[in-house]
Amino acid sequence: MTIAEIQDEIIDEFSMFDDWEERYQYMIDLGKTLPLIDEQYKTEDYIIRGCQSKVWVHAEMNADKVIFTADSDAIITKGIIAILIRVFSDQHPKDIIESHTEFIDQIGLKEHLSPTRANGLVSMIKQIKMYAIAYQTQLN
């Protein structure tokens, strides 16, 4: 699936819920399905700066696609990174770099996060795109 297709799928899933209590629960459930980062990557080198809670993200190339793994010490944040990993993992670096993240606004996520969590979300996206830029540079 393309990034846009995955984003549309997420928008559809979130539209099934009537209120934010249900959407938060869904995010928590998504966080429980997150492919966990290997313990060796739960270090300062892989931590996302700007997040209220601890979030670790690791990326590696596999057959010219970037594969992400992640973890967080907070359940809501774990759900947020799970959504981002679902969208961006197993995609070509160029597609990640060129992708837009309007789906976050469309599902209403940003407006329902505290300012520090919203900043953390921006930091997570920025780090994912930085990994993609680094891998795209290697491919060129």
Give the orientation angle of helix 20-32 with respect to helix 75-88, to 10 degrees.
70
51 is catalytic: yes
Per DSSP, 71 falls in state E
Q: Output DSSP code: residue 34.
A: P
Catalytic residue, chosen from 6, 34, 48, 51, is 51
What span, in angstroms and rounded, lies between the C-alpha atoms of 140 and 137? 5
Active site residues: 51
